[in-house]
Amino acid sequence: MSELKSKLYKLCHAYVDQRIETTQKAMEALQVSADEETKSSVGDKYETGRAMMQLEMEKYSVQLNEAVKLKQTISQMETVVQTDVVQPGCLVRTNQGNFYISISAGLLKVNDESFFAISTASPIGTKLLGLKVKDTFNFNNKVYEIQRIE
């Protein structure tokens, strides 16, 4: 893996780790709040509050599961070798911008260059998959030409 791809890979990993940590902390805080609520409340107000906390906990659980799946996805990209065809783990340079085909982590900056970390399920990711250098595609009324695949 090139030094640039290694840095992008690490940034994506850090993005996922941060999402997992944030979600876990929110779940822990919610649990502490639920425990305190149990000690101090009775009646209908208690039941309503408890139901709302349960919904929040389920929401965080879904977010945590999604983040864990992202971590599995990004971990599988460490072994991608050089290829002539766009696939997960590739760094794609186009006339309209640079894309790291990995997970949807947004804009990443490395050495004063901007890269969009996108998943293969994203609209532009689906258009890029399987293309080669010099191939073109249209997206949002712009023509993209692949200049290099790393």
Which structural domain range is residue 39 located in?
A: 3-78
45 shares its domain with 111: no
34 shares its domain with 74: yes
| Token representation of residue 121 | 């399920």
84 within some domain: no
85 within some domain: no
Among 49-53, 71-75, 119-123, 135-139, name the one with the lowest average pLDDT. Answer: 49-53
Strand order across the 91-94 sheet: 106-110, 113-118, 97-101, 91-94, 142-149, 136-139
Which pTM does this prediction carry? 0.81
- What pLDDT score does 115 carry? 97
Tell me the percentage of the chain whose pLDDT exceeds 70. Answer: 89
Out of 78, 100, 129, a domain closes at: 78
Q: Whole-angstrom Cα distance, residue 103 to residue 81?
A: 18
69 shares its domain with 95: no
Say which residue the tokens 């640039």 belong to. 4
9 shares its domain with 40: yes
Model confidence over 76-99: pLDDT tens digits? 876 666 789 999 999 999 999 999
- CA nearest 116: which of 99, 129, 96? 99
Model confidence over 30-73: pLDDT tens digits? 888 877 765 555 555 556 777 788 899 999 999 999 999 999 98
44 shares its domain with 67: yes
The number of distinct structural domains making up the chain is 2
Q: Whole-angstrom Cα distance, residue 101 to residue 132?
A: 14
Helices (runs of H) and strands (runs of E) counted in the chain: 3, 6
61 shares its domain with 7: yes
Average pLDDT, the chain: 89
